[in-house]
Chains A and B, each alone.
Chain A
Amino acid sequence: MNDMKTVESNTMHIQKPSVTDYLRTNPVLTVKQLSIGYRHKLNKRSIAANLNLTIRKGEMVCLLGPNGCGKSTLMRSIAGLQPLLSGTIAIQNTNLQQLSAHQRALLLSLVLTEKIEGGNLSVSDIVAVGRYPHTNFMGTLTEYDKNEINDALTQCSLLGFESKLYAQLSDGEKQRVMIARALAQDTPLIMLDEPTAHLDLPHRIEMMKTLHHLAKTTQKAILLSTHELDLALQWSDTLWLMQTDGTIYDGAPEDLVLQGYFSKVFGNESFNFDLKSGTFKTQQIHGRKVNLLGKGTTYDWTRRALEREGFERDHQVISQYTIEVTEDNQWIYKHGNEQTICNSIADVLAILQFDTKTSDTHKMNNLTVHKL
C-alpha cells in the first residue's frame, strides 16, 4: 500500500477519432501524468496514478464514481488544495503549481459542499466575494464588478434576492448563490464538489440543467463530482468514470454505457447495469419463478416489484405461480387450484411470499425426512 503503484497508464481513452482530438487541441484544463494521493513522511499512499485528462471550453464534465474511489482527492488536487504526488495540472497552458494563490483564483473557482454559516451575509455580499481576485486591497467594487455580479445573479435566476440574508434561503437557493459567486469570479474553469448533495430530486435535475446551460452560454469549462449516476448520464458532455482502484475511463456517457464500463465500475454480484433502461437492476434471483401476464403501466410496475423481491419471470407457464394483471387494475393470483383476487401489489407480494416460503419449508422438511 505504501509504495506507488506502477501502472502503465491508468486513464483509458475510449475511441479517439480525429474529430475528438481536434476538439481537444486547445483545452481549458489539461491533466498530464498526474498521480494523486497522500504523502506522510517517507510513505506515499497513491490513490490514482498516471491520469491524463482534458476539459475544453463550454464542456461540462462529471466525475462519477462509487463512494471512496478518490473523487474528492482528485477534485482537491486539481483545485490546488492538496499537493500532487507527481505530474502536472494546467489551466489554459499555465501550470497551476507555479502560480500564487491570487493568480490561481483568476483561473479556477470552486463550489464546495462545506456549508457556510451565513450570519448577516446577504446574497450580494457572498457573490461579491467572487470578485475579490479582481478588486483592490480594500475590496472596493467598480461599476464593472457590479455588472459582473449582476450578470452572475441573473444567470442563476437570483435577481431580486440581492438583499436577502443567505441564512434564510432554502438549500437549492443557497447552492445557486454559491454558483453565482463562482461565476462572478469569472474563471475559465469552475469546479463543483457534489453540487446536488443537499437537494431533492426536482432541484437536482434543475441544478444539472442550469449547470449544463451555463457551460453552453458562458463557454466556461465545468467540472463537477457526483455519485448520482442517472443525473451524470443524462447531463454531462463527458464523463470521467472513476473506478475504486483509481482508474478513470473518460468519454461520452453513452459510449461508456455501450462499452460496458458502467457495469465494470458500479456493478457487483447483487446488481447489474441494465443497458436498456440505463439503471441498475438487482440480481437477487433465488430461483423462484412466477408467470406474469398482462400489459400496460400496471404490468411494468408489478414486474419491478417482483424483480425487487427476487422473483424471476417465467414465460414458459411451467411455474406453479401465476399473476394476471387485469384491465381494471386488479391482480388475479393463481397457485395450484387456488385463485385469489388482489387489489394491490402489496397484497400480491404478501401472498406470494407466504406461499413460496411455506413450500420452501415443506421442501426443507422433506429433506430432513430423507436424511433421517
Chain B
Amino acid sequence: MSRSSIWFIIFGVLLVVFFFFDIMLGSVKIPMDTVLSVLKGADSKPSWHYIILNFRLPKAITAILAGAGMAVTGLQMQTLFKNPLADTSILGIGNGASLGVALFVLASALFPSMLLQGSSLGNMGVVIAAVIGASVVLLCVSAVAMWLNDMVSILIIGLMFGFITGSLVGILQYFSNPDMIKSYLLWTLGSLSGVTWTQMKILAPIVVTALSVTMLFPKSMNALLLGEQYARSVGVKVTTMRNSLIGLTSLIAGTLTAFIGPIAFVGIAVPFCARLLFKTSDHRILIPASMLCGAVLLLFCDMVSQLPGHQTTLPINSVTALIGAPVVVAIILKNRRNKTVFN
C-alpha cells in the first residue's frame, strides 16, 4: 500500500474517533453509548439530549469545517504565493473581519448615537459585521489582484491592508472602555461553540461548496509549482485560476473568521505537516490530506480546550497553537535531514 493511503486511513479513523470523543467530553461527561444512541435518534435524558444535539454536535461539525477550511485556504495561499509561510492573513481577510467586529463592538464609544452595542444585536451582529469587514477587504484585494499581474505586489498590498485595519482597530480600542475591549478580545481568541444550528445553515453550505470547488484545481495548482511561466506554457490560464483561488479562499476564510473568530495557526501548520507526512507536492493528495489533518487537529484541540474535569473552556485559538506548534517542531526535527521541505 502506498504511503499516502496509509496516512489517509490513519487520519480517517482519527477523524471518526475524535468526532465522537469531542461530543462525549465536556463539562458534563456523557457516556459514549448515550452519545451514539442520541445521534441515532433514540430518546435519553432530556438535558443530555439537548446538550448533544444543540451544543456539542454543531460544535464538532464546526471544528471539522473550520479545520478543513483553514487548512485548505492555507495550502492555496502557499502554492499561489510560493511561500510556505503564507496563509489567509496575507490577503488581510482576517484583519478585515477583525475591523468589522471591532467597529461593531467598539464603535459605540466613538459614536454614542449609534446603538450598535453587541448586546442589543447579539451574536449574529458580530457575524454580520465580520462578514462585511472580510468582504470589503476581499473585494479590494481581488480588484488589486486583477489589476496587477504580480504576486509580490498583491502580497505587499495585502499586508498593507492588514496594517491599515490593524491601526484602525488600535484607534478604536484606544477610545473604548475596558468592557468593550474585553468583548472584542474574546472574539479574537476564537470559539467553536458559538455556532448555532441557524448559523450552521449559512456556514456549512458556504464552506462545503467552496471546498468542493477547490477540488477542481489540483491539476493547475500542480503546474503552478513549476512557476507561472511553465504553468502558462502547459495551457493553464494562470490569471483566471489565481483570481478564482483568491475568491474561494476569501470566501472560506471570511465566513469562518466571521463565525468562529480568527483562527491563525491551522492554515500555516497543517499543509506543512501534510507535505511532510504524505511526502508529496501533488495537490490531488495534498488538498484532501490537508482537509483531513486540519479537521483532526481542530477536533483534538477542541477536546483539550474542554479541560476534562473542569467547568471552564480555554480559547481555541490559544490551544491550537499550544498543541500544534510543538507537533510541527517535532515533525521538523524528525525530518531534519530533509532540507527542502517546502514547495
The contact sample of 14 A-B pairs, CB cut-off 8 A, is A79-B233, A100-B235, A101-B236, A116-B225, A116-B226, A117-B342, A119-B340, A119-B341, A119-B342, A125-B222, A135-B219, A138-B218, A138-B284, A139-B284
CB–CB B225/A121 < 8 A: yes
CB–CB B235/A102 < 8 A: yes
CB–CB B229/A133 < 8 A: no
Complex Cα gap A165–B216 (Å): 26
Determine if B29 is an interface residue (Cβ-Cβ < 8 Å). no
CB–CB A117/B229 < 8 A: no
A110-B229, A114-B227 known; A185+B284 contact, CB < 8 A: no
Chain B contact surface mostly: loop
Contact of A132 among B216, B236, B282, B340 (CB under 8 A): B236
Determine if A129 is an interface residue (Cβ-Cβ < 8 Å). yes
Determine if A197 is an interface residue (Cβ-Cβ < 8 Å). no
CB–CB B229/A138 < 8 A: no
CB–CB B229/A165 < 8 A: no
Determine if A229 is an interface residue (Cβ-Cβ < 8 Å). no
CB–CB B237/A101 < 8 A: yes
CB–CB B218/A101 < 8 A: no
Best-surrounded residue of A114, A118, A132 (most CB of chain B within 10 A): A132
CB nearest to B340 among chain A residues: A167
Complex Cα gap A121–B282 (Å): 8
Q: Kindly provide the distance from the CB of A110 to the nearest chain B CB, expressed in whole angstroms.
A: 4
What is the interface size of chain A, counting residues whose CB is below 8 A from a CB of the partner? 34
Q: Which residues of B contact A133 (CB under 8 A)?
A: 234-235
Q: Kindly provide the distance from the CB of A97 to the nearest chain B CB, expressed in whole angstroms.
A: 15
A81-B232, A125-B282 known; A117+B82 contact, CB < 8 A: yes
Q: List the 8 closest A-B pairs by CB distance, nearest first.
A: A105-B235, A139-B219, A102-B235, A119-B343, A120-B281, A167-B340, A110-B233, A132-B234
Determine if B230 is an interface residue (Cβ-Cβ < 8 Å). yes
Complex Cα gap A106–B226 (Å): 18
Contact of B234 among A112, A114, A119, A129 (CB under 8 A): A129
What is the interface size of chain B, counting residues whose CB is below 8 A from a CB of the partner? 27
Complex Cα gap A118–B222 (Å): 11
Task: List residues 98-146 of chain A with CB under 8 A from any CB of chain B.
Answer: 100-106, 108-110, 112, 114, 116-121, 125-126, 129-130, 132-133, 135, 137-139
Determine if B35 is an interface residue (Cβ-Cβ < 8 Å). no
Determine if B182 is an interface residue (Cβ-Cβ < 8 Å). no
Q: Which residues of A contact B222 (CB under 8 A)?
A: 125, 129, 139
Chain B residues packing against A (C-beta within 8 Å)? 82, 216, 218-219, 222-223, 225-227, 229-230, 232-237, 275, 279-282, 284, 340-343
Q: Kindly provide the distance from the CB of B90 to the nearest chain A CB, expressed in whole angstroms.
A: 18
CB–CB A137/B219 < 8 A: yes
Q: Which residues of B contact A165 (CB under 8 A)?
A: 340
Q: Which residues of B contact A116 (CB under 8 A)?
A: 225-227, 230
Q: Kindly provide the distance from the CB of B331 to the nearest chain A CB, expressed in whole angstroms.
A: 14
Q: Which residues of A contact B234 (CB under 8 A)?
A: 105, 109, 129-130, 132-133, 185
Q: Which residues of B contact A102 (CB under 8 A)?
A: 235
Task: List residues 348-365 of chain A with CB under 8 A from any CB of chain B.
Answer: none
CB–CB A81/B341 < 8 A: no
Contact of B229 among A81, A100, A108, A168 (CB under 8 A): A81
Q: Which residues of A contact B226 (CB under 8 A)?
A: 116, 126, 129
CB nearest to A118 among chain B residues: B340
Complex Cα gap A121–B222 (Å): 9
Q: Kindly provide the distance from the CB of B180 to the nearest chain A CB, expressed in whole angstroms.
A: 46
Complex Cα gap A203–B43 (Å): 77
Complex Cα gap A133–B220 (Å): 11
CB–CB A121/B281 < 8 A: yes
CB nearest to A79 among chain B residues: B233
Q: Which residues of A contact B219 (CB under 8 A)?
A: 132, 135, 137-139
A102-B235, A132-B235, A133-B235 known; A139+B218 contact, CB < 8 A: yes
B-contact 0/1 string along A179-204, CB 8 Å cutoff: 00000010000000000000000000
Complex Cα gap A81–B233 (Å): 9
Complex Cα gap A103–B232 (Å): 11
Complex Cα gap A205–B218 (Å): 38
Complex Cα gap A121–B275 (Å): 11
Complex Cα gap A185–B230 (Å): 12
CB–CB B216/A125 < 8 A: no
Q: Which residues of B contact A106 (CB under 8 A)?
A: 235
B-contact 0/1 string along A158-169, CB 8 Å cutoff: 000000010110
